[in-house]
Amino acid sequence: MNDTTPEVREKMVQIVAVLSPQQRLEKSGGLFASGRQLAEIAVRRRAPHLEGLDLKLAVFRLMYRSVLSGEFLDDIEQHARAEALSGMQVGVKREL
């Protein structure tokens, strides 16, 4: 979705053009962090019971659903859950 007018977009380009590469990186990192926080707020409002990996995966899915296919997102989720499960099993073995 892009609801930015061409005039506003041009002004944004002009503002960013005068920043140093480090400043651009800092700004983009801050914007990404803000977007992630907003996504987490949206997920928590819809599903307040989610915690841990379930919350992280729901936030990830919300953030990337417009650019990644549902099938790819499902694959990522399966892999993340498998990794978490294998990490838990390693932890159990260490405790024994």
> What confidence tens digit (pLDDT) does each residue in 67-85 have?
999 999 999 999 999 999 8
Is residue 83, in this structure, part of any structural domain at all? yes
Is residue 75, in this structure, part of any structural domain at all? yes
Q: What confidence score (pLDDT) does residue 1 get?
A: 56
Q: How confident is the model at residue 89 (pLDDT cuts 50, 70, 90)?
A: low
Structural domain boundaries, residue 64: 6-95
Are 41 and 48 contacting, i.e. CB atoms less than 8 angstroms apart?
no
Tell me the C-alpha to C-alpha distance, in Å, between residue 56 and each of 19, 37, 40, 61, 83: 32, 11, 8, 9, 14
Is residue 66, in this structure, part of any structural domain at all? yes
| pLDDT score of 91 more than 80 | no
Give me the number of domains the chain comprises.
Answer: 1
Is residue 1, in this structure, part of any structural domain at all? no
30 vs 24: CA distance, rounded Å: 10
Is residue 91, in this structure, part of any structural domain at all? yes
| pLDDT score of 90 more than 80 | no
Q: How confident is the model at residue 86 (pLDDT cuts 50, 70, 90)?
A: confident
- Is the pTM above the cut of 0.85? no
Are 64 and 35 contacting, i.e. CB atoms less than 8 angstroms apart?
no
Is residue 86, in this structure, part of any structural domain at all? yes
Torsion sign across C-alpha atoms 4, 72, 61, 25:
negative
The CB density around residue 65, as the number of other CB atoms within 10 Å, is 11
12-64 per-position pLDDT tens digit: 999 999 999 999 999 999 999 999 999 999 999 999 999 999 999 999 999 99
Are 81 and 58 contacting, i.e. CB atoms less than 8 angstroms apart?
no
